[in-house]
Chain A
Amino acid sequence: MSDEEHHFESKADAGASKTFPQQAGTIRKNGYIVIKGRPCKVVEVSTSKTGKHGHAKCHFVAIDIFNGKKLEDIVPSSHNCDVPHVNRTDYQLIDISEDGFVSLLTDNGNTKDDLRLPTDENLLTQIKDGFAEGKDLVVSVMSAMGEEQICALKDIGPK
């Protein structure tokens, strides 16, 4: 009983810890940042020192981790930015439904059925083909700010 309660609490997030603040000047390349409400991975940071344009500023170029769009932002380096909590969890792939949902096996033996197939064509083909061939597949699910997506695939079956 208590196990389930714990499980229930961690799932319910309550939105309190989706992001955390971090000073813009400390965010580096390959880190994460929230731009226009989207969780992104930083691909470029450049700083312009205090000058005629006012306070020192950080210029971020980042990629949305879910839809791959390129986003830009400029923030004074002393300001706080939102950084998303990004989690990766591995699940075993049990089934693929006709309407594009996957059925995954969680750690404690339950199934997770609310995730769609990924939109990335490569990954999609790999999963569909691998599953059709009866391979044992483990998918990595990336989650941030209430959104989830399959981001990688592993074949754990016998060679």
Chain B
Amino acid sequence: MKENLLDSIRSTVFKQSDSLDGICTTIEGYDFNKGVDYHEVLKSMVSTGFQASNLGDAIQLVNEMLDWRLSDENLTEECSEEESDPTYRKSVKCKVFLGFTSNLISSGVRDIIRYLVQHRMVDVVVTTAGGVEEDLVKCLAPTYKGEFSLPGAALRAKGLNRIGNLLVPNDNYCKFEDWIIPIFDQMFDEQTSMNTLWTPSKVISRLGKEINDESSYLYWAHKNDIPVFCPGLTDGSLGDMLYFHSFKKEPGLVIDIVQDIRAMNGEAVHAGLRKTGMVILGGGLPKHHICNANMMRNGADYAIFINTAQEFDGSDSGARPDEAVSWGKIRGSAKTVKVHCDATIAFPLLVAETFAAKAKRSVDDTS
């Protein structure tokens, strides 16, 4: 009797399992006995588990997105003669939408983004107002490293504004005001004399032109004709400047968001035979704006989200890519990854193994 009981317990605890060999990756971390090889460390993330694996998967997916060519797809009946030409098809790449929240521009990730825009590695950029002004302000005066724990009242008394563990002196914004108001004056004159109808993306392009500083991603976006969309342009220091300027030159600049939504959705709709990919850092407006535009073409083909938001509260920021699939913002056939990580850690590592690695390779190849 005891024998039967023991056998039954044994068979419960040591339940026969299916074999995963050859089906799933085995978990193995990096072996530092091989030395400190950063590329290999990053490669090992895929098999390290948890968010390291998600980052590893994101790296693989971004590389797949960047490697895709129209020539990888079969010819369809509707293809014109030009579209069927193999050389042409080999030249058609995925259209990349890059979105990020403004805190990332306050951080050093701004310089990573500048690199991408400088080298035309992305096609469309979407951000919030701070994502525009913080880049411009940094050209006029720097942001400093502080601490999360610095007391607010003491900082206010010293004229220091805290963004997480970063500090931006009030003086920086005074410099920004002194720089931007004359530009708004010129833009207002163009509005009245030349009937220029400003939109957020046109305003941003003009500011990128005026800042004329190679450390600014907006400068490169203007130079490379990469549109930067920001429907919430007034929600930041830029909005404050527009507010004050409207008293100076009544009734102020007119900025049309309808023309911009035509342009933004048009970027997705008229992508044509190109596949589209979304690389989105953080949540909020940039995340949804890009996903929504891609809904207009029945969904993006690649989606890489890097953010720390969770889905339990039903927020769009925390929503996983699969939720977007239910809306048609991402295709059912698409490949997606969400990396639950602060983008200041994940994004530089991702770019190192994808965009930058490919650029280096192509330079090495041609040299």
Q: Which residues of chain A have a CB within 8 Å of any CB of chain B?
A: 36, 50-55, 57, 72-74
Contacts and interface: CB of A to CB of B under 8 A. Distances in A.
B235 to A, nearest CB: 11
Contacts of A74: 243-244, 247
Interface range, B side: 10 to 19
A53 B237 contact: yes
A21 B173 CA distance: 27
The 3 tightest CB contacts between A and B, nearest first, are A54-B177, A53-B240, A74-B247
Interface string B164-193: 000000100110111000000000000000
Contacts of A52: 161, 170, 173, 236-237, 240
Given A51-B170, A54-B173, A55-B174, A36 B244 contact: no
A53 B161 CA distance: 12
Contacts of A73: 247
A54 B241 CA distance: 8
21 contacts: A50-B159, A50-B173, A50-B174, A51-B161, A51-B173, A52-B161, A52-B170, A53-B173, A53-B240, A53-B241, A53-B243, A54-B173, A54-B174, A54-B176, A54-B177, A54-B237, A54-B244, A55-B174, A72-B247, A73-B247, A74-B247
Interface string B294-329: 000000000000000000000000000000000000
B250 interface: yes
A36 B251 CA distance: 12
A64 to B, nearest CB: 15
Contacts of B240: 52-54
Which of A54, A55, A57, A72 has most B Cβ within 10 Å? A54
Contacts of A36: 250
Given A53-B237, A53-B244, 10 more contacts: A52-B161, A52-B173, A52-B237, A53-B241, A54-B174, A54-B176, A54-B178, A54-B240, A57-B244, A74-B244
A51 B241 CA distance: 12
Interface in B230-258: 236-237, 240-241, 243-244, 247, 250
Contacts of B236: 52
A50 B244 contact: no
Interface string B71-92: 0000000000000000000000
A43 B250 CA distance: 21
B209 to A, nearest CB: 22
Contacts of A54: 173-174, 176-178, 237, 240-241, 244
Specify which of A36, A53, A57, A73 lies most central, judged by the most chain B CB atoms within 10 Å of its CB: A53
Contacts of A72: 247
Nearest to B175: A54
B107 to A, nearest CB: 17
A60 to B, nearest CB: 10
A50 B170 contact: yes
Interface in B144-167: 159, 161
Contacts of B237: 52-54
Contacts of B173: 50-54
Contacts of B243: 53, 74
A3 to B, nearest CB: 46
Nearest to A74: B247
Contacts of A50: 159, 170, 173-174
Contacts of A51: 161, 170, 173
Nearest to A72: B247
Nearest to A48: B240
A56 to B, nearest CB: 9
A82 to B, nearest CB: 14
A39 B250 CA distance: 18
Nearest to A73: B247
Contacts of A57: 244
A53 B237 CA distance: 5
B247 A53 contact: no
Contacts of B176: 54
Contacts of B159: 50
A57 B159 CA distance: 15
A14 B178 CA distance: 35
Contacts of B244: 53-54, 57, 74
B106 to A, nearest CB: 12
Contacts of A55: 174, 177
B361 to A, nearest CB: 43
A57 B240 CA distance: 11
Interface string B315-345: 0000000000000000000000000000000
A10 B267 CA distance: 69
Nearest to A36: B250
